[in-house]
Amino acid sequence: MEELRKPIGRRSLLKAGGFVAATGTLGWLGALVTGVGTGSNQRKRARWVKTVVRPTLGETNADYKRFSGFDMFALYRPLKTQHEGTGSFEAEQVSKAKRLIAWTNEKKPGFSLPDQKLSEGAWTVMRSSRPGTGLLSWTRTPGRTSTEPSAQRYTASPEEMANTVKAAARLYGARLVGIAPMNESYVNLQVPRQDEKEKDKDIVFEDVDVPEVTDTKFVIPRKMKWVVAIAIPMDIELLARTPTPLGDAASALGYSHSAFVVSSLAVFIRGLGYEAIPCVNDTAQSIPFALDAGIGELSRLNKLVTPEFGPAVRLCKVFTDLPMAYDKPVDFGLVEFCKTCKKCAEVCPSRALSFDDEPSFKTKGPWNNPGHKTWFEDSYKCFEYWQKSGSACGVCLASCPYTKGDQAWIHEGVKAIASIAPATDGVFRIMDNAFGYGKQHDPEQWWTKDQPSDRRG
């Protein structure tokens, strides 16, 4: 047996060493990219998504105040009148309606009748949800859920509570869930009226036990110190067909999914013996809560960009008094990438996005909430383009290099490298264009593609 044992030569040793090193490097890269399971119900996050003490962008100063709650939809009409005189808004709506009919007749891709009606269908759940009523009810609704708090209250450690809530949220359709502390300054001052017959209602914080909706105000109990921040991914196959009514279905569906998720989660939390207020875009600014909860980073779009789905997400949230462990903000190198990239600003048809190298506190108009640092956008220009194009655009969301499918491994590698080596950002930006990412896909082809329900997983 002795003769069979050969001494290991230097070359064999080097070869074996090289193999082990290469395998080790691959393994390390794999772990860096895919992340390691935590054993909790959290979605596994890649290692290159680091947690930090405070968000990388969005810092506030003394000017930061609760926002009025009036969004671009409410502001556009008076601003249009101010810019172009009385009747300009109405004239614009008439010509938009005529244009849409003409484009349908001309068979303009993405503007066929089915294309237009697809997003109408996708809006259904969201359009039947209004803050404080129906699906988005702030209180225990008889018939749908018990009107009394449960006799038994579910109690566990804050970490277990967070895991339980996150698991439920993910079952209902949330893909990213984080827990942030309540911050009253992120909550809007008012819920704007939905039609002329109604009144704007104030949103107030009071020392009460249950949330209340009266004729004049929405009352949030001060004991609601936890916010479940949620991101729902948009369908990127639809988003790749923007700016068309067909592409609009991606946003519409995102909103309807959001309404479903937050309303289901609110009922679940109430069933555990606590209070819950479900909100989609209403009631509070979703982005700062999502930043604090580590869902993503603030970007040149002045929107949240997530490491997994880029800016192609819809955000929503649930306020609650159920005590949970808070999550931390994240840093995956996005702010540095945005400084170099500027792709969204370049492709924006209305030139609404900032080309500034650095973010600042300088706002662009009354639609921006002052007092925080970001790249502010010109929402008036953006919204005007929506009217001209007969769609809710979204080209900026589709073009972002972080908006990618999850099938090609290389994207994870690129994001991992960009997170630790900002010097590579310029090269990745050039490659993103060279590979043709972010371009509009053929709208007509969408109708013969696999649908999400056909895809596995």
Partner 1 sequence: MTNGDDVVMITIRKRPWWFWALAELWLLLEVLLVQTALASARESEYRAAAISWIAAAILAAAGVFGWLRRRDSRKPIEANERS
List residues near ligand SF4 by CB under 6 A. Answer: 299-301, 305, 337-338, 341-344, 348-350, 352-353, 382, 385, 393-396, 399-402
Closest C-alpha to 337, from 414, 426, 413, 434: 426
Query: Which residue, 221 or 359, has its beta carbon nearer to ligand SF4?
Result: 359
The yes or no reply on residue 434 touching partner 1 (CB under 8 A) is yes
Instruction: Indicate the DSSP class of residue 400.
Output: S
Query: Which residue, 321 or 432, has its beta carbon nearer to ligand SF4?
Result: 432
The yes or no reply on residue 6 touching partner 1 (CB under 8 A) is no
Task: Pick what 17 binds: ligand SF4, partner 1, none; C-beta below 5 to 8 Å, kind-dependent.
Answer: partner 1
Closest C-alpha to 386, from 244, 236, 237: 244
The yes or no reply on residue 437 touching partner 1 (CB under 8 A) is yes
Closest C-alpha to 250, from 388, 392, 359: 392
Residues 283 and 442: their CA atoms lie apart, in Å, by 37
In this structure, which amino acid lies at residue 189? L
Positions 390 through 409 that interact with partner 1 (CB under 8 A): 404-405, 407-409
Burial 197-212 (b: 16+ CB within 10 A, else e): eeeebebeeeeeeebb
The yes or no reply on residue 22 touching partner 1 (CB under 8 A) is yes
| Pairing of β 201-206 and β 217-221 | parallel
Closest C-alpha to 226, from 132, 331, 317: 317
Minimum CB distance to ligand SF4, residue 221 (Å): 36
What is the sign of the dihedral through the CA atoms of 265, 267, 269 and 274? positive
Query: Which residue, 212 or 444, has its beta carbon nearer to partner 1?
Result: 444
Query: Which residue, 122 or 240, has its beta carbon nearer to partner 1?
Result: 240
Minimum CB distance to ligand SF4, residue 284 (Å): 22
Q: Which residues contact 328 (CB under 8 A, 6 or more apart)?
A: 51, 52, 53, 294
Minimum CB distance to ligand SF4, residue 404 (Å): 11
**Count of residues engaged in binding partner 1, rule: CB under 8 A:** 26
Closest C-alpha to 263, from 93, 419, 138, 150: 138
Task: Pick what 15 binds: partner 1, ligand SF4, none; C-beta below 5 to 8 Å, kind-dependent.
Answer: partner 1
The yes or no reply on residue 272 touching partner 1 (CB under 8 A) is no
Query: Which residue, 36 or 410, has its beta carbon nearer to partner 1?
Result: 410
The yes or no reply on residue 435 touching partner 1 (CB under 8 A) is yes
Q: Quick one: which segment of 250-258, 303-311, 361-369, 435-443 binds partner 1 (CB under 8 A)? A: 435-443
Question: Three-state secondary structure along 344-384?
Answer: HHHHCCCCCCCCCCCCECCCCCCCCCCCECECCCCHHHHHH
Residues of this chain that interact with partner 1 (CB under 8 A) are 11, 14-15, 17-19, 21-22, 26, 237, 240, 404-405, 407-410, 413, 434-437, 439, 441, 445, 449
